[in-house]
Structure 1
Amino acid sequence: MTLRSIKPKYLLLGAVALGAATLVACETNETLGRSQFLLVDNKDLEPTALQGWAEMMKTAKLSNDATLIRRVRTVGAKIVTAAGYNAAEWEYVVFQNDQPNAFVIPGNKVGVNSGLFKVVKNDDQLAAVLGHETAHVIGKHAAERASQQQAAAIGLSVAQGATSGRAQQIIANYGGMGAQLGLLLPYSRKHELEADRIGVDIMAKAGYKPSEAVALWRNMQAQGGAGTPEFVSTHPSDTTRINQLDAYIKSKGYN
């Protein structure tokens, strides 16, 4: 489909709508050093996120490894305190899951899979993971991604309303995929690399060794597996991550 399939008045209407949203939704994030498009804030996402968290706590298998739980909570408290948050307002849960992963959701809930400790060899590397997750909150990445999705949905709705027949069916079938690959994923990879850099700053402030962030990703890379091609992945490749982290650590004079 080409732009000729869409009537000019609908294109203009969509451009005006998105342009107006941009004017009222852009703000500068000093930590990121760039402007962000935000139709929603982290607080706006909390009710839904916390509802999902509560459901997960009912259905997921929680770890009963007291040592791992204590390590995660201790390191996590140091990290968020260094980031300027009140550690008492954060919750850390270790899930019994073999996948090496961790995540944060709006509402300051952090989940760590027990499988992460296949690649995390010390508390400095754990601090790299938790610093990265905390950085996503500082960077308002969840809110920015939700805003991007809303903007993409507005654009697709305008296009669908302005077309008919075969052209409309093409948008319905492939519009979501095009929006995902063409708009959302590049920003998501950007978020991951931003969180890496901010996370290193946080772990250094908390007294942990930043170079262990590079060691962590080398451990992850050593796990092997073809994985998902980087150009259709929401995460940078391990090689990209290692190279950029190493360069950033050296530029900051960290050890």
Structure 2
Amino acid sequence: MSSFNKTSLMQRREVIMGLAAGSIVPFVSGCADNASLGRSQLMLVSDGQLAQLSDQAWRDSLGRERVLRDPGYTRRLNRVGQRVVDASGQGHLDWEFVVFDSDTVNAWVLPNGKVGFYKGILDLMETDDHLATVMGHEVGHVAGRHSAERASQQIAAQVGVSLLTSALGANQNTVEYSDDIGAALGMGVTLGVILPYSRQHEYEADRLGVDYMARSSYDPRQAIDFWVAMSTLHRGSTAEFMSTHPSDENRIAAMRSHMTARGYT
């Protein structure tokens, strides 16, 4: 092999290793500042696109899930939800809070302000402060524009991997391995870029959620109690390295640190 080919191959290997480590990310213009987070975000998805997708997802959820008609659950969710939203500064959205009749221990939010709580998680919440913990976290995702940022990151990652795979595959020394290289690069970007950003989003939503609790006169200290109790349900779950969520220990430690800094403890 000529010295030129050896050098080119070494450069390609460095590129692959860089992507796998998450140190090389496709550059795409489209950053926006987010005052709630105090940082800029990659934004390749318009608010209109996100609203359209969110509306459709909400309609699909209402058609697929069974809505709980118990007025006690509904009143509680709406009472806490509205207080947290008012404290968050996100009142410009058309918020809607729905309880789904399922023992599933989960809650989620769409970027358009549609919030779904399952009966299973509400039954575990002994106080409204516990409910406000999760509600604040979900509203924090909306204020953080995390859905738009995550979608933008995935778009940028896919474009970068496709371009690099095509460039490598065009070379005679790598063409027969182009599929394997593409798969390896895809895994590298997933582990090195997309999942860590998802964990960052979870930490940010936790911090914003605790702040919203305090502003809406709920006790932010009870957020720790709730997540400690929830951690007992996660034994044997996926390792943090391969997860979109932080480990329970890291999440609770980060929340304690934020609360101390804010003077909530």
TM-score calculated relative to the size of structure 2: 0.84
Moved more, 140-149 or 96-105: 96-105
Percent of residue pairs identical: 41
Query: 1:129-157 deviations in whole A, cap 9, x for unaligned?
Result: 11111111111111110110010011011
* Distance in 2 (alpha carbons) for counterparts of 1:148 and 1:40: 10
Give 1:176's match in structure 2, choosing from 186, 196, 205.
186
> 2:12 is matched with which residue?
4
1:37-52 superposed matches below 5 A? 37-52=42-57
> 1:235 is matched with which residue?
245
1:49 to partner: Cα distance: 2.0
Give 1:127's match in structure 2, choosing from 132, 136, 157.
132
SS in 2 for 1:151: helix
> 1:213 is matched with which residue?
223
Question: How many residue pairs end up in the alignment?
Answer: 243
* Residue 70 (structure 1) aligned with residue 90 (structure 2): no
Moved more, 216-225 or 160-169: 160-169
The change in CA–CA distance for 1:135 and 1:41 in structure 2 (over 3 A counts) is farther
The change in CA–CA distance for 1:124 and 1:169 in structure 2 (over 3 A counts) is same
> 1:137 is matched with which residue?
142
> 2:120 is matched with which residue?
115
Q: More helix by proportion, 1 or 2?
A: 1
SS in 2 for 1:107: coil
SS in 2 for 1:228: coil
Moved more, 239-248 or 160-169: 160-169
SS in 1 for 2:168: coil
Moved more, 127-136 or 158-167: 158-167
Structure 1 residues without counterparts, runs of 5 or longer: 8-16
Does the 8 Å contact 1:6/1:159 carry over to 2? Answer: no
Give 1:187's match in structure 2, choosing from 197, 205, 210.
197
Q: How much is the aligned-residue C-alpha RMSD, in angstroms?
A: 2.2
> 1:54 is matched with which residue?
59
1:253 to partner: Cα distance: 1.1
* Residue 149 (structure 1) aligned with residue 154 (structure 2): yes
Moved more, 139-148 or 117-126: 117-126
1:39 to partner: Cα distance: 1.4
Moved more, 85-94 or 189-198: 85-94
* Distance in 1 (alpha carbons) for counterparts of 2:192 and 2:13: 20
1:223 to partner: Cα distance: 2.5
* Distance in 2 (alpha carbons) for counterparts of 1:212 and 1:86: 25
> 1:158 is matched with which residue?
163
> 2:37 is matched with which residue?
32
1:27 to partner: Cα distance: 2.2
Give 1:105's match in structure 2, choosing from 110, 113, 137.
110
* Distance in 1 (alpha carbons) for counterparts of 2:191 and 2:162: 18
* Distance in 2 (alpha carbons) for counterparts of 1:5 and 1:205: 51
TM-score calculated relative to the size of structure 1: 0.88
Does the 8 Å contact 2:162/2:182 carry over to 1? Answer: no
* Residue 250 (structure 1) aligned with residue 260 (structure 2): yes
Q: Partner letter of residue 186 of structure 1? A: P
* Distance in 2 (alpha carbons) for counterparts of 1:41 and 1:94: 29
- Greater Rg over alpha carbons, structure: 2
